[in-house]
Structure 1
Amino acid sequence: MTDDAIEYKSVDYVVNSSTNVLETSVKNNIQCIWSGTTNDSELIDFKWEFDWSELKKQGVDELTGHITIESADNWFTKEIDVILTEANKIITKRVSTHDFDDVVSFNYTLVPCIPVESAKYRKMFLPSDQNDTILVVDGKKLHVSKAFLSYHSEYFRALFSSNFKEGQMDKIPIKEVSIDDFALLLSSFYPNPVFPNDETVEKLLEMGRRFLVSSAISISDYHLLNNSKINNERIIWLADEYVLPSLLERCLSDLDTVEKVKKLHQSPEYEMLSDNTKVKVLDILIKMI
């Protein structure tokens, strides 16, 4: 089970005082019975009955997301935040209408959440007095501290601010990242720093840049400068790609023979270098001739 959202959109239905069940749908083991009735006060009472017991059996412990209900003539559009923790759950919403016959449709987006299996991840992301929000990564719930993440990451500082809707949510989805890669990033500073090695340093640089964690980039830079056994051509590309000037200058200074320059030029990393770095390499070669 991943953090891929389950999405569904209904067709249009007429709702009036004589309607009740409008539709029964099934999507990815989520059954939804949608009902709607107009009362005498020109209000529509909507109801969604969710049955996701099959997902419960697969290890999902909750579904989070939203339902959007809208009228065909744009009279109303309402969004309802949804947290489903029980296999059978009813969601209701009352909206005002301007007609006793209204044409409406709805859609939902729900993200399955499952417990973190790995013992080391469970230890890192358990509920505690210090943790005040939940991130949903790769379908897993991670209990974290807003203040701590905000201190280390400009990305999370902005995400948790009042200017972003996510900052007001009880559970915040972090998309397009695996639990392993995200945990690698957080483990570089949270709760006790784990230093990179040659197997993890490239991914840590990538994650540090994406989530604006300068400390992750700094410790990766230190590792590449002082401890790495990665070949010089690859390190030159990493230094260029992630803007590590001291590392780049050190690696370029190692190009002290024509053979080393040729080796770089023939490597797959050379084509990925920026034009500015290629000019520096050419300058080194010219000085040798």
Structure 2
Amino acid sequence: MIAVLIGIGNLMIGIAYAGLGLLSAWETISLHHYRGWSRFGIGFALMAASCGPHHLMHGWQLLQGEAVSWPIIAVTIIGLPPGLIFVGLRFETAWNGQGDRGIPASPQRAILLSAAFAMVAGGLAAWSLARLPAAELPFQILCSSSEIPGIAGSGFSFVSPSFLANLFVTGTYGMVGWYLADRQVRRYLTDGSWSLAGIAMSGVFMTCALMHLVAAAACETGWALTFDLIGVPASIYFLWIVRQLHRDAVTDWNRRPLIGAATAPARASPWSGANARPGSPVRD
């Protein structure tokens, strides 16, 4: 019964990723004549193209009877609330609702929530490694100078493409979540409130990184491995553009990602090239 619920949860997450990715791609393509190309929209669509199918496949496998571990159950339950909030805000905006809103929470609560998540993340990571056969080996790596490529007889290897890809994506999406959370801290210092959409999106990427960290302990093959490998370059580009936006190094009309209503403005933006005269240079 638990496996079925977690499978349904992964299907919901996968559908949300795929839907938001398609919506982001459609808005980026349809509005680029008015607003220019949204680098964030492109990056989000690429990220969703790997994460969405990965969750859909994992959910389908669980519904087909595949065993589910307790760390996967825990990380799925943790990841559902921010994902549902973010998707709900997006649909609310699509239906001409309020969408994003401010949260007048105290910084002490934010610190407490962050500390609790950090402890849970560390516990789940250790739990995932401890469940492997010969569980003492992963911890011996920290204190051993000899190479330990894997665990004999378990099908697990520390140099397998699945482990390395998931570990890499854990770092990139964790940094994305960090930049988004830092932006929220700056917003609070300026306005005295938190963005519900921003907090939810920060939580989405933090829990996404945690889920990939737990998945790194599994030996994925086939299409799951394919989407893991696709996610590596997608996460690199997405991290790059989020960092650029965080530093205010690029201009992007999609700065409030996927929450604000995207409609055609009264006139084209200067950098879109729509108003450029023939032969005149177009600034990027």
TM over 0.5: no
- Between 1 and 2, higher relative CO (CA 8 Å, sep ≥ 6) is seen in 2
From the CA coordinates, give the structure whose radius of gyration is larger.
Answer: 1
Would you tell me which structure has more strand in proportion to its own residues?
A: 1
TM-score class, shorter: under 0.3
